[in-house]
Amino acid sequence: MAEPLSTVQVQQPSGASQPLAIYAPPPELRREPLVQNERGIGWISDAIAGVAEGKTPLWWWIAFLPSVILMTVCFSMILYLMSVGVGVWGPGHPVMWGWAIINFVWWIGIGHAGTLISAILFLLRQRWRTSINRAAEAMTIFAVMCAGIFPLIHIGRIWFGWWLFPIPNMYGIWPQFRSPLMWDVFAVSTYFTVSLLFWYMGLIPDLAVMRDRATSTLRKFFYGLFSLGWTGSNRHWSNYEKAYLILAGLSTPLVLSVHSIVSMDFSVSQLPGWHTTIFPPYFVAGAVFSGFGMVLTLLVPLRRLLKLEDIITVRHVELMCKVTLATGSIVGYAYAMEFFIAWYSGNPYERYAFINRAVGPYAWGYWIMISCNVITPQLFWFKKVRTNMVLVFILSIFVNIGMWFERFVIVVISLHRDFMPANWGYFRPTWVDILTYMGTFGLFFTFFLLFLRFVPIIAIAEVKGVTPQADPHHPLGGAKGGHH
Amino acid sequence: MKTIPPPCPVPDTGPKYWRSLDQLADTPEFREWAEREFPAGAGELTDPVTRRSFVKLMSASFLLAGVGGLAGCRRPIENIYPFSKMPEGYVHGVPKYYATARPTRRSAVPLLAKSNDGRPTKLEGNPHHPDSNGGTDTFTQASILNLYDPDRAIRFAQDGNNATPEAARDALSKIAADAQSSGGKGLCFLAEQSSSPSRLRLQQALGAKLPQAKWYEHEPVDFDINREAASLAFGRSVKPYFKIDQAKVIVSLDCDFIGSEEDAYINIRRFAKGRKLEKKDDSMSRLYIVEALMSQTGMNADHRLRLPASAVIQIAALLAGEILNQSGQSDASLASAIAKLVDQRTISDLNAQLKPTDAKSARKWSADFINKWAAECAQDLLRHRGRSLVLAGYRQPMAVHLIAHALNSALGNIDSTVVFHEVPAPKNGNIADLAGALNSGQVDTLVILGGNPAYTAPVDVKWADAQAKAKTVVRLGYYEDESFPAKGWNLPQAHFLESWGDARTADGTIVSIQPLIEPLFGGVTDLEVIARVGGLDKTTPYDIVRETFQAGTHGGEEDWKQFIHDGFLANSAYQSASVRLDASAVTQELASAEAVTVPGKDKLEVIFHRDYRVDDGSFNNNGWLQELPDPVTKMTWENTVLMSVQTAKDLGLYIHNRENNRLMVPLVKITVDGRDVVGPAWIQPGQADNTIGLALGYGRSNTGRVGRNSGYNAYSVRSTRHLHCSIGAKLAATGEKHHLSTTQDHWSMEGRPIVREATLKEFQQHPDFADSLSMEKPTPFAPLYPNPFDEAKKTGHHQWGMVIDLNSCVGCSACMTACQSENNVPIVGKYQVANNREMHWLRLDRYYTGDVEDPQVVTQPMLCQHCEAAPCENVCPVNATTHDQEGLNVMVYNRCVGTRYCSNNCPYKVRRFNFFDYNRRSLEQLQGPVYPTPLTSKSNGEWDLLRWFRDPDRGTKPADEWDMLKLSKNPDVTVRMRGVMEKCTFCVQRIQAAEITQKVKAGASGDVTVPNGSFKTACQQACPAEAIEFGNIADPESRVSQLKAQSRNYSVLEFLNTKPRTTYLARVRNPNPAMPDAYDQPESTVEFKQHNGGSEAGPAEMGAKKGAE
């Protein structure tokens, strides 16, 4: 037996202290801990809650002010759009959907990572999810909010948007249940509701922590209000765990359904380039890909800025890179398969649609997509890349760009040259398109930055659960008579 | 006690046509009157009055105040007032039709005008007229918009200041009195051409009364050369009338007879008739054309030779050389005079220019290509003696026209395919003569009757200066435009729908022009002005026309009523004159023909052509025509400098260029005879090399809000010597770019079987060739849900469907304008067209196939196909587009929220979206790329939002526009608001009207099936070629069912299984196999083959193979 890693003093019931040697696990079992530097659970509480409690850092203000300005721009653009007409955007024949739908699908895709991390990884007992699930879920909610704006404002008569909901009315007219847009309304609203509930549920124990730590009456009141009287009793925990499991079970199919249904907006139509059965799985993979891309974009700098490197460790980042690599490869496969099927179908319209993607007037868009979505993730095969935080950050941005262009390719390139050459046209966004899209970043980051300042950005209770101390079999953990 | 409000004052000036309370409310008099109500009401308070009368008064006051917009905190109340005295037989909401006519240069279009509650809303051809099938042209369809043009001349103006009509009439009386005393010395008239018998009569009366008065006529696009040439060739004043349907072989010498020539709509009807195919053994005519520009006729030709316009005479002479020799009956001196015109060196130079640069297309070309072409064409003509026709275009010189007459004479076509009508020879000078007289101070009083000479006169005439030299100028004008006299009188001209008149159509039938509405702005007609200036007894147009009728027919009251009712005088057509070619006169004239210069890249040939949309500029302020894509170039809102691909290359111009989604083309400066003009360069495939096409009618310096800033002014380089064609022009890029708006960006059909074609031979061998180009249809199995229409269909009384015969359609676009007029389709402006947001429910797709230098052209009307399994329907989340049980794909505007998914899923892309509130935008806003929001923009010194709030219906339109706009709308069709999708409805309002009529008629019998052919859709009605057939496909006897049963019937994109109700009859070309440019298969079929496996089998062979299987 090798040298012990360390020796700790174990107190005997008799009161005597006895040294206990801790040996390293055999190499094949050795894993990097999920919380590094053997941080104690008290430190974890302090570190996470401290983000919301301490003095507002300067960088936060530097990020927040432009975000608020951008958000204002977003709302101004929407006001302008509503007062004049959808014509302030770029669409026209034959590209009737432009940036609005691209942005919608893009944001919805980003919104995928959160629930995937919190639900599917939870069910699959991926304990590493605990460090990132809270932030990812918040990201999901804000991204779905950004996404949800677009289908509403892109319609011609915004004031009748509620007609898409099955609200009983005196005319007895119902929405058209054959339309994928209808399914979209259900899918997205359900997804948003469940994600929000799931996120909030997970927050309750941590909000109670915040309440208990609060120093001002105001904070105490609000944290108290939202923690719903959480005391941390066993009964609470037991109910909580059950509810969490049920919600995770409920959310899991939603992760798959929402983007499948969004993909049906396209695949149910008969436009070459849209009318493909590969879309549902391919969209889900793409969504997870983009979601993880965005999580990386957010968390890689945050762990540094918030000094949470011990909780969101390099191992976490590596794992996320691996998910990105896997889903990115699926997406790349889907691209190849689309081409193959177009050729194999023997349908000249289909063939042309795909050839046009690669060599047509929008070829630049297609090749941006390919390089960002197919080539970029392949770099994650290399550990050196995965562990280089600057590189990961840059590559994650590429993923975001690539996924935006994927939707651009699908929406714009498919539409701009369809069946009849007489209809062919060229689409260009207007400044209103661009500013509205930029504006949603303002909206997103405003919410995200407020989230940072008011809500524990990491699930405190859950992270504690994956520390060695929480493991009764771990030398550091278990009910060994100590207290903390 | 009853308080009687003071009488409502009637304003002296301003509109008199629409006396709704809200409009009057805007006049100061009314406002004052309305305000006076209040003190009176206030006085009531102090009086010991009953509560009841006070309340009555106050409510009346509030009502008036609300209407007047004085206390405008609510939406304005609009009241509908019933007739106090109902006209007999009037049914509210049921339109009435009146026969009238639109006068054109030397002809007229017989019309039935639809009147809704006393305002004309739609024009249709008069199908009862002996020389009409009810079809019309784009100009006629759009001319109704001119009536409601808010920018038309609305006032009598003296020296540019407002004047009363009475003062204007006094001034005319004074001129008349002065002229009487001097016998008309120094009195000159400048008129537009006219076919009016009344005007002719007045002119004669004037000549008798004022023998020294002089009469001049000016038409910038003058078709009189047809009469001049015929008169010269046959030694008497005759005018040709072409029976194109009788001809089996037609040779056009630069004659755009189905496009820009006079009475093209009649020619289209006759041409289409000669090419109708019902059965496989039917014959069809063959069209050859030699021309420089790609014209509509060229688009429809079976053989087309592109040569500079000035070189067309060579072909004419080559043809004549062959034919005169072989016909054996011609005059030897004539034959030798024609032979002298042929210059083989010129021909070989031209031939060299025709040589294609790429080897692929070179297969057709040979060193003596032109000679061979002419020789074979001549042989074909000779084979069809008496059943052929040679036509010469108005832009061609006299010599070409004379050769054409000589050819027709030699071929025995006279009295068979061409007849000659005796017409009076006009005795008048031209505008250059008048300018000379003006400049030499011989003119005291100048009376200009219509037209816009300051804009259209040849530039060397310097008309604007000349016009100012007359001591008194009286000008009758439809607009206050370039010719508006700064000093003198400008009288507002009445629209033809506002005035009494008469005219003669192409065949000479006298047609009546009767007004459908009082002149909106008190306009006067040329008849009235002539009568007043001439001091004649009868000065009202009605009396004048009546008198002419009386003098011509000696008919009584009943005959007159009949004439007005029918719109034409039966049996009043010209008698055909028997003519013989005066060979010596022709020979003599040919001797003076100019030698042909072959244009080169530094001595370009410039051709001034009539525009398909704005004519000579008279329709410049017509939004429907401005936005109508040119039938050939598909360009909107302006004219371009047209040139061939090779010429652009030679001149170093890179044309097709996109910058920021804008079509940016180089601006080029063309120098003609020392003058220059700058315009945007554009490539026209099929144009002759080294020729430049300049369309007239744009670039107006003083026009209305629609025509402003559209195009360049080709008149500014058009001189008296070179009215049609000038050689030696130079072209240089200015280095600047210009933004163009076209409705169709892509030229090629990409080998897709969208328009299907075959040659006549193929059609005869394989009548089902159209079907053989279809793609394999997937068999639908296990559908997700049954198509609800399949069930609904069983309850329909009719099943509506449409067939469009591509063999008849020539692409004239009359259907597009008719649709726009019928269905209240808004115009969107140049920038919106550039964003592909034009609103036309019906569009004409134009594809070029084959060699880009010498393409074959096909056109296809494309409109909602009313698919039985409509892809648009199942994707709409709110059920806004659904099917009715009669097979119409109906659009519920009220329900539409504007997701635009339907448009994305429409394979035909025929749905149109209201991106803005186009109907409430002011004409000013047609110009800008981005529109102001009512939240921020200011206009009329008022915060826009406030106005929008007070009168949301008007939007940002100024009052004049708004009022005129309301009048022009078809009340049977919803005016769509922003944010909703719209599309062709198969004219559901007409279907409904017919069904209601039938239901009323059926009564208890229950026979509610609308009889076949009892109504037509607007596009079908307007089509002179009868290419569109609409009706009940459930009835096998209906014409539409019979057409659908024909072998050429196919649906576009049939493999999608959308089951369109609109199908097409494939097009058939009739090439001559002996020609050097003969083809076995149309280029579109060749392209289809190349794109589909490249098998050697054409559609016909494929069809045969399929049959064998």
A275: closest chain B residue by CA: B905
d(CA B956, CA B773): 51
Whether residue B70 has pLDDT greater than 50: no
For residue B859, what pLDDT is reported? 93
d(CA B553, CA B700): 44
d(CA B99, CA B513): 8
d(CA B264, CA B992): 33
Rounded to a whole number, what is the distance in Å from the CA of B916 to chain A's nearest CA? 5
List, in sequence order, every residue forming a beta bridge with B1067; answer none if it has no partner. Answer: B757
| CB contacts, 8 Å: A169 with chain B | none
- Contact flag A269-B903 (C-beta cutoff 8 Å): no
Sketch the domain layout of chain A as residue ranges.
6-477
Give yes or no for A189 touching B (CB within 8 A).
Answer: no
Give yes or no for A94 touching B (CB within 8 A).
Answer: yes
At A223, is the pLDDT very low, low, confident or very high (cuts 50, 70, 90)? very high
3-class SS at B157? strand
| CB contacts, 8 Å: A268 with chain B | 874-875
* % of chain B surpassing 90 pLDDT: 38
Task: Identify the top-confidence range among A233-242, B589-598, B849-858.
Answer: A233-242
Residue B639 · residue B625 · CB < 8 Å: no
Q: Which residue has the higher pLDDT, B727 or B938?
A: B727
| Main-chain phi, psi angles of B490, to 5 degrees | -120, 120
Q: Which residue has the higher pLDDT, B316 or B426?
A: B316
- Residue in B890, B911, B887 with CA at minimum distance from that of residue B899: B911
Burial class (CB in 10 A: 0-12, 13-18, 19+), B776: exposed
A81: closest chain B residue by CA: B933
Please report which helix (H) or strand (E) contains residue B933, including its range. none
> In sequence order, what are the residues at sequence separation of 6 or more whose Cβ sits closer than 8 angstroms to the Cβ of residue B428?
B191, B215, B216, B217
- Contact flag B877-A415 (C-beta cutoff 8 Å): no
Q: How many CA atoms lie within 13 A of B600 on its CB side?
A: 5
| Stretch B1072-1080: mean pLDDT | 88
| Stretch B285-307: mean pLDDT | 92
d(CA A177, CA A170): 19
At B1105, is the pLDDT very low, low, confident or very high (cuts 50, 70, 90)? very low
Rounded to a whole number, what is the distance in Å from the CA of A51 to chain B's nearest CA? 43
Structure-block tokens of residue A222: 């609000």
| B567 Ramachandran zone, left/alpha/beta (phi>0; psi -120 to 50) | left
Please report which helix (H) or strand (E) contains residue B191, including its range. strand B187-191
- Contact flag B897-A160 (C-beta cutoff 8 Å): yes
Whether residue B71 has pLDDT greater than 50: no
- Residue in B48, B77, B46 with CA at minimum distance from that of residue B62: B77
- Contact flag B907-A415 (C-beta cutoff 8 Å): no
* CA A286 to chain CA mean position, Å: 12
Residue B860 · residue B810 · CB < 8 Å: no
- Contact flag A156-B979 (C-beta cutoff 8 Å): yes
Rounded to a whole number, what is the distance in Å from the CA of A345 to chain B's nearest CA? 12
- Contact flag A155-B979 (C-beta cutoff 8 Å): yes
Whether residue B43 has pLDDT greater than 70: no
Task: Specify the length of chain A in residues.
Answer: 484
d(CA B595, CA B399): 11
Q: Which residue has the higher pLDDT, B553 or B862?
A: B862
Tens of pLDDT along B375-397? Answer: 999 999 989 988 999 999 999 99
d(CA A390, CA A395): 9
Whether residue A297 has pLDDT greater than 70: yes
B899: closest chain A residue by CA: A155
For residue B33, what pLDDT is reported? 47
Long-range contacts of A58-63 (CB under 8 A, 24+ apart): A59/A305, A60/A449, A60/A452, A60/A453, A63/A445, A63/A449
For residue A379, what pLDDT is reported? 92
Top residue of B859, B863, B876, B879 to mutate, by most chain A CBs within 10 Å, is B879
Structure-block tokens of residue B655: 């044309």
Which among B871, B899, B931 is the nearest to A84, CB-wise? B931
Task: Identify the top-confidence range among A181-195, B83-97, B319-333.
Answer: A181-195
- Contact flag A185-B877 (C-beta cutoff 8 Å): yes
Tens of pLDDT along B157-179? Answer: 998 888 888 999 999 898 888 88
- Contact flag B752-A348 (C-beta cutoff 8 Å): yes
> In sequence order, what are the residues at sequence separation of 6 or more whose Cβ sits closer than 8 angstroms to the Cβ of residue B415?
B576, B578
- Residue in B968, B1008, B964, B983 with CA at minimum distance from that of residue B871: B983
Rounded to a whole number, what is the distance in Å from the CA of A428 to chain B's nearest CA? 6
For residue B581, what pLDDT is reported? 85
Give yes or no for A416 touching B (CB within 8 A).
Answer: no
Interface of A with B in 324-353 (CB under 8 A): 347-349, 352
- Contact flag A419-B907 (C-beta cutoff 8 Å): yes
Q: Using CA of residue B289, residue B291, residue B297, residue B298, what is the dihedral sign? A: positive
Give yes or no for A152 touching B (CB within 8 A).
Answer: no
d(CA B327, CA A409): 66
Whether residue A131 has pLDDT greater than 50: yes
Rounded to a whole number, what is the distance in Å from the CA of A224 to chain B's nearest CA? 43
> Which amino acid belongs to residue B1023?
C
Structure-block tokens of residue B73: 């905190």
| B726 Ramachandran zone, left/alpha/beta (phi>0; psi -120 to 50) | beta
Structure-block tokens of residue A458: 């990491």
d(CA B971, CA B963): 14
Q: Any idea which architecture A6-477 has in CATH? A: Up-down Bundle (1.20)
| Main-chain phi, psi angles of B282, to 5 degrees | -65, 150
Residue A340 · residue A401 · CB < 8 Å: no
Q: How many CA atoms lie within 13 A of B741 on its CB side?
A: 23
Give yes or no for A75 touching B (CB within 8 A).
Answer: no
For residue B946, what pLDDT is reported? 63
| Stretch B788-815: mean pLDDT | 91
| Stretch B488-497: mean pLDDT | 91
Rounded to a whole number, what is the distance in Å from the CA of A352 to chain B's nearest CA? 10
Structure-block tokens of residue B778: 């997937």
Q: Which residue has the higher pLDDT, B781 or B933?
A: B781
Tens of pLDDT along B118-154? Answer: 889 999 999 999 988 889 999 999 999 999 988 899 8
For residue B600, what pLDDT is reported? 86
* CA B655 to chain CA mean position, Å: 28
Rounded to a whole number, what is the distance in Å from the CA of A407 to chain B's nearest CA? 15
| Stretch A293-304: mean pLDDT | 91
3-class SS at B312? helix
Interface of A with B in 16-55 (CB under 8 A): none
d(CA A295, CA A312): 12
For residue B1100, what pLDDT is reported? 43
- Residue in B192, B720, B714 with CA at minimum distance from that of residue B483: B192
- Residue in A165, A55, A206, A98 with CA at minimum distance from that of residue A425: A98
Average pLDDT, chain B: 84
Residue B406 to residues B285, B386, B391, Cα–Cα distance (Å) = 21, 13, 11
- Contact flag A422-B744 (C-beta cutoff 8 Å): yes
B903: closest chain A residue by CA: A96
For residue A146, what pLDDT is reported? 93
Residue B255 · residue B391 · CB < 8 Å: yes
- Asked which of A323-337, B3-17, B380-394, B769-783 is least confident by mean pLDDT, the reply is B3-17
Tens of pLDDT along A345-389? Answer: 888 888 899 999 999 889 999 999 999 999 999 999 999 999 999
Please report which helix (H) or strand (E) contains residue B1068, including its range. strand B1067-1069
For residue B101, what pLDDT is reported? 93
Whether residue A185 has pLDDT greater than 60: yes
For residue A172, what pLDDT is reported? 81
Whether residue B20 has pLDDT greater than 60: no
- Contact flag B900-A97 (C-beta cutoff 8 Å): yes
Residue B458 to residues A150, B675, B680, Cα–Cα distance (Å) = 57, 12, 22
Q: Interface pTM (ipTM) of the complex? A: 0.89
For residue B21, what pLDDT is reported? 46
d(CA B367, CA B374): 14
| CB contacts, 8 Å: B896 with chain A | 156-157
| CB contacts, 8 Å: B978 with chain A | 85, 156-157
Tens of pLDDT along B551-568? Answer: 888 878 888 888 988 899
- Asked which of A263-267, B12-16, B47-51, B158-162 is least confident by mean pLDDT, the reply is B12-16
- Asked which of B39-48, B185-194, B709-718 is least confident by mean pLDDT, the reply is B39-48
Is the peptide bond prior to A94 cis by the omega test (within 30 degrees of 0)?
yes
d(CA A256, CA B320): 79
Rounded to a whole number, what is the distance in Å from the CA of A348 to chain B's nearest CA? 8
Which among B746, B835, B904 is the nearest to A92, CB-wise? B835
Which among B785, B917, B932 is the nearest to A178, CB-wise? B785
Task: Report the b/e string of A99-128 with b at 16+ CB within 10 A.
Answer: bbbbbbbbbbbbbbbbbbbbbbbbeeeeeb
Tens of pLDDT along A38-55? Answer: 777 888 888 888 888 888
> Which amino acid belongs to residue B327?
S
| CB contacts, 8 Å: B898 with chain A | 86, 155-157
| Stretch A7-32: mean pLDDT | 75
Alpha helices in A306-362 (DSSP H): 314-345, 348-359
List, in sequence order, every residue forming a beta bridge with B489; answer none if it has no partner. Answer: B158, B474
Give the DSSP letter string of A378-447: HGGGSHHHHH-HHHHHHHHHHHHHHHHHHHHIIIIIHHHS-S-GGG-------HHHHHHHHHHHHHHHHH
Burial class (CB in 10 A: 0-12, 13-18, 19+), B515: buried
Whether residue B883 has pLDDT greater than 70: yes
- Asked which of A95-104, A194-203, B356-365, B1080-1089 is least confident by mean pLDDT, the reply is B356-365
For residue B104, what pLDDT is reported? 92
Which among B746, B838, B895 is the nearest to A424, CB-wise? B746
At B1109, is the pLDDT very low, low, confident or very high (cuts 50, 70, 90)? very low
